[in-house]
Structure 1
């Protein structure tokens, strides 16, 4: 929020405050399917279509479609069915590898190892249709693809529910997508390990067997790389269908790292604005929002569209998709009391800024006027004007963590007794004439919402992961740091009781000690103070019983560096990012 004189005068002139949202509706436009990425740097992808089982006649059409998409969007396509292309040296030239309706066992052990190392080194994977009917006995691939084929009914039309309209693969679509294809059933549901972009309405066709929760496209971060999958693409006609081609392009761009998205699993959220209307919202101050294509776009101002139906107390996670048209200004407010005066939110709450060209404490990702984002992390996560971004605002007591497209960029703790993050309303700012910012899919997960614990790596100094030595499960096993590899030894669960758990046991201070250098180990969970760990606003993780911090020992921090207890000093070897 820039407090310019012109906007302050405009606010005073708009003294008649609306009791209901100032939202005007317009007709929904047709989905855009144009090329998007003239600004993308040139890159290469590999399209791999080897089959050891059923062969789809549409493979040739698919290769042609990828070549045409590449020509229009600044990437080059190499196509092959030769598995000998899977060497470390050859794969290194590609930003992403597309498995185009591959079937059966298509890579030998050496080739599998090369591909694993490619993904672990930051490579991208795009799986299309029968890519899920591939390499059933290779666990790495099953995790990468997200789910494997079980069966399918006859080709028929179905209604696709678009769950994420911020990802580049689905942002061009409406809330529902009617199309004809061969609709796979999968052996497992990927929702808990991947971020679902679209799912099938099983009531709209015959033969769905996934009990009404039927993901059909998803994305995930996987062992250092990126994985996108779509179940569409069986028919020849798919590859001339503009909306499906744009879907493929978005998957390629994300897997290649050309665009960012929040691809963490997402469960337990309920909508506050789902695109269908603004029931429960009220407009404070002048201006308002237009509503079209399930999207709120700011107009005029300085005002605030706030969720008046409920004041949120306790812990919650708020997610909002947003997009700037250019050099625009807006923000999301949290923790303010009910009021028809938008300045009440400014003076009593906190604004998470949307404006990438302002000063550090007033730029995208900042807590406006209070704390700048980590600008390096912000810049690495931010999509440019014209593309969608996703904020997660995670409130835990008086702590506010800000995630942009799945990456943590700010961590702020309120210490002002006149304000409170633990109680208040949320709102979307309409900043003023010429500030064109759009919002989609506002949703919230409150404490107590049945979504399960958070699970993932705990990352520390030099980007290394907290690791159980040797993956052993015996009580007393040393904890260390190691290059992140996605293994079970590096998969930690935060269940909400101030413990950190891996391999079914707890992170533990040996003997409940308090001395600097006390060993940190794995131990059977027992509820003692030796197993309590509380993340702090400065990035440290503290054991309250000892008042000391989780610390990577020494000063070089290579693989195998042991973790121990140490007096808190906020150095880089005491900074940790939890799931």
Structure 2
């Protein structure tokens, strides 16, 4: 106890020192907090579990509200109000509004429709539901009150509360979220109703910066007419007091007084681009919202800052900057779209709105900086948010509502924020004044499919609406989930189900093993589902079973603890009555490297137990791909093809949010991309650059965000997979089963791995589909770049002379190459970037460890011949560097290792 108390005092003292010596920004960027310094443990994230209430029933859900009886209303953008019944677990339609949700303009998507919904705080008494929507027959966005009777929205009960003009057929930014504050004031968010895209056929265009084009006839490209206009309700968050008769009054404390000319008194917050999800702290009354920001990937001297998404906090009424500022009050510059000349940056103390489209004040209120802000790339200030696409959302400030809190008190008073594209959820800690202190992962072990709304229910638990991964469509993963916290016993966690051999001739003996762990250390029981009604129970994680009838059997296992809490594995299909063919690739020479102009002798052997091999079904290919795998050839086991790896990487990224393999979404279908670039030999590299750097205007107006944090090698595997979708009918002829591949004399450094792949598909049977086995080997170029070397000590990897090099930092150091075949290797040479006179030393090559036997020795300036004949096994090689006395270590900079063959 004393030690802990002393530590806490030290932590508090450290915080106070930081607070008096660091600026606010540097303090925030380090995300220092008392909780973090005191090392107070956060609750185990694996105690949070996702309870699926319903999936596959929704088409473009936008907002949800949990009723007092735990029924849940869901608004759908196309006009439907759906109701999930807690007792029956079924979804039915409660009503449908005739909304404008689709444009008549080619290549332009509408975002309007039924946008927001909230139940009255006194719903149990009055049954009022508030809907914010775009009526089909009038170019406005409208807030109305309806009555829900017998699970039906009574259309005749509609009371129009408020509406305002909204320009249509343009795309984008609607806002549309509704939230009640603790004082029963109603908040409504509205988007800037402006086009973020470029005016067609113009020399000077927006390019993803603030839309400030005030030329005649181009009003939709000018956000100063809406978000930057004090006399317009677009690009705002409104705050009104509802009256019993469906009218409203203006509460005290809004941004502008009731009778102030050229202003609207409903405005609580102005300067918004697309405040898509809002929430109100039910104790403090502070307003929070996620602001979806502009698309520019880089700062520009003429225009201003790159795009940022924001999570904002308004303790009182204010202007939050758009379109004059973004992020931490980073200013845009006035820009003349007729000649491309810029003006001065806007002034945070009060930007001037001199747009001819402005109907409000000439000078707007002072701009407030964002609470949290982050770009497409990694954020220096808030590194936990990651990188990639951006759609910031604000959830509730969590408070315990019951004596028996459903979640740990640790989260009491924390703001929950989340990301629609990136999929994460974070808990934000604030001090007593509501200022930002830190953020941390929340429900981090739970995967969400594009969370679009989040609400704390009457039971104190979080209810989350998943839009699903796909735009403007009915997504099978759209649904409602509840987040439970398991205070006591937890279910087991299933890591994987492994089956030693997934096929075999009859009788087929299967050996299966499940890897599972109980977080509470309980003994486990395993219930095996072997398909066709066969169930076996064991107390060990391994099962052996013999199949005597031919067929495909779906194998899974349910792992159960002593309290009957359980978890189920994925399904693994096995095939009884047919066995996967065996495909092996034999190399005559070195199995780690290939050498320019030196033939790689290979032989592919195929056997199919119980059947004759059909040589027409053998397919062999070789490609040169990017990679840094120095593990040598991977022989003797089945591997996924490179294209399958690419698809797996795609599914793990945010690509699937905007693109489908062959279906329409907000981005083009992958197979359409493949067809478009089918005959382009540089398509893989070109598409990869588009993914990393972002793209705009190729397939329409919607830009693709930059993914600067993704590894280029991974992105190229994804684009390589994409291109296979357009080449299904143009597969190159197979190589012969025995042959030679002659590597070119010069190797593209970005395609340094020679991959030899062989596959065979058998004939199957009347009741079993054909089975395919694919095997491959990878051979690394004989020139190993310093950037590819992963294992070293006493060196520092630095970007020197245009690329990563290894700079010596210690008197004695080593570099290791793992899993190396020594067959046919005569020499290792080091290429140095800056080896000056006097910088010298000795290099030893040791086998299988720093202290292994020496198989070669030389100085820095000479090659290093080896004096050991290969034993046919793979070895780890350690290159030990011993620096000569007086040598400036920083002059020893390694560019590459070159392997010579005999």
**Fold in common (TM above 0.5):** no
> Which has the greater radius of gyration?
2
> TM-score scaled to structure 1, two decimals?
0.25
Q: Which has the higher helix share?
A: 1
| Structure number with higher strand proportion | 2
Query: Which structure would you say has the larger RCO, counting Cα contacts within 8 Å and 6 or more residues apart?
Result: 1
